[in-house]
Amino acid sequence: MTISELRKTLLAQLGSTQKLPSRSASDPAIFSHWDLPDQGSATVRFLPDGNPDNPFFWVERAMIRLPFNGVRGQSESKPLVIYVPCMEMWNETCPILAEVRAWLKDPQLEEMGRKYWKRRSYLFHGFVRQSDLSEPEKPANPIRRFVVSPQLFNLIRAGLLNPNIDELPTDYVKGLDFKIVKTHLNGFADYNKSDWIYKQSALNEKRKQALTSIKIPNIDRHLPNKPSQQEQKLIREMFEASIDGETYNPEKWGEFYKPRGF
């Protein structure tokens, strides 16, 4: 695929989706850019997806956040959150979002609707070329995974639509690096100063050699599995329990969906 073809596909996707309105770094392959110090930066080089059917070098992940008032049977448990897959990831109707969309049109329910709206993130992989992040232990595999927020993704996408880019940024010889810059705005992490480095650069021999010995994986293998019919019923049940302010029931749902670290 060329940069022109990618740009055309990206513009077509934007035209069909623009009306639509937490991360875990327990896997050492994930580069936790959110842990960068204030004013810190990291320069990364994205790699193509191993899946030839993916026109992009990323995949979108959509999860729904279900808050619960603790765990059933544990009097001292604190409020917790369960993340469940949104069926729109598989181009199917999500029954939860179908209900939540109606809430967003009601001023009295709008706040609750936003709480249960899907959380988008974007998965990339590639090399970390420079970083201000202190990592006590780095994985043996130099290909890292990046879990990117919508704010950062919009900056990545905006650069791809820049007509001055002549080659795919993932090209091993004529590609571009992306610089992640972390600052703070109103008490929250902000990445608005992040941007592409508009200067072509080749991967060094060490990284080229790594790519000859390591098969580039499909990024979508890191997406959650599509829920079965039984799991979809459980998700609906958990959604209703969450709305009613109930506690999380590990006996009923723990085999399928549980909080991190549970």
- Section 103-119 average pLDDT: 95
Residue 183 lies in a domain: yes
DSSP 118: P
* pLDDT number for residue 158: 94
CATH of the domain at 67: 3.90.198.10
* pLDDT number for residue 123: 98
Mean pLDDT of the chain: 90
For 187-224, the pLDDT digits (tens) are 899 999 999 999 999 999 999 998 998 889 999 999 99
Number of domains within the chain? 1
Give 147's strand partners. Answer: 123
| 19 vs 224 pLDDT, higher one | 224
For 20-68, the pLDDT digits (tens) are 334 444 688 999 999 999 999 999 999 999 999 999 999 999 999 999 9
Spatial distance between the Cα atoms of 47 and 45, rounded to a whole number of angstroms: 7
* pLDDT number for residue 220: 95
Sign of CA dihedral 178, 181, 182, 186: negative
- Section 90-106 average pLDDT: 95
Give 67's strand partners. Answer: 81
Tokens, residue 2: 């060329």
Of 217, 218, 219, 223, nearest to 90 by C-alpha is: 223
Lowest-pLDDT range of 112-116, 177-181, 209-213: 209-213
pLDDT at position 16 over 60: no
- Section 166-173 average pLDDT: 95
* pLDDT number for residue 262: 65
Residue 258 lies in a domain: no
Within the chain, where are the H helices? 3-17, 95-104, 110-116, 150-160, 205-213, 229-243, 250-253
For residue 119, give its domain range.
3-18+31-253
Contact by Cβ (8 Å): 52, 61: no
Residue 23 lies in a domain: no
Give 167's strand partners. Answer: none
* pLDDT number for residue 14: 62
* pLDDT number for residue 2: 78
Spatial distance between the Cα atoms of 25 and 22, rounded to a whole number of angstroms: 10
pLDDT at position 7 over 80: no
Residue 66 lies in a domain: yes
Spatial distance between the Cα atoms of 76 and 69, rounded to a whole number of angstroms: 11
* Total-model pTM: 0.85
End-to-end Cα separation, the chain, in angstroms: 43
Contact by Cβ (8 Å): 128, 144: yes
Residue 138 lies in a domain: yes
Residue 165 lies in a domain: yes
For 145-164, the pLDDT digits (tens) are 999 999 999 999 999 999 98
Residue 150 lies in a domain: yes
Residue 131 lies in a domain: yes
Tokens, residue 152: 């950062």
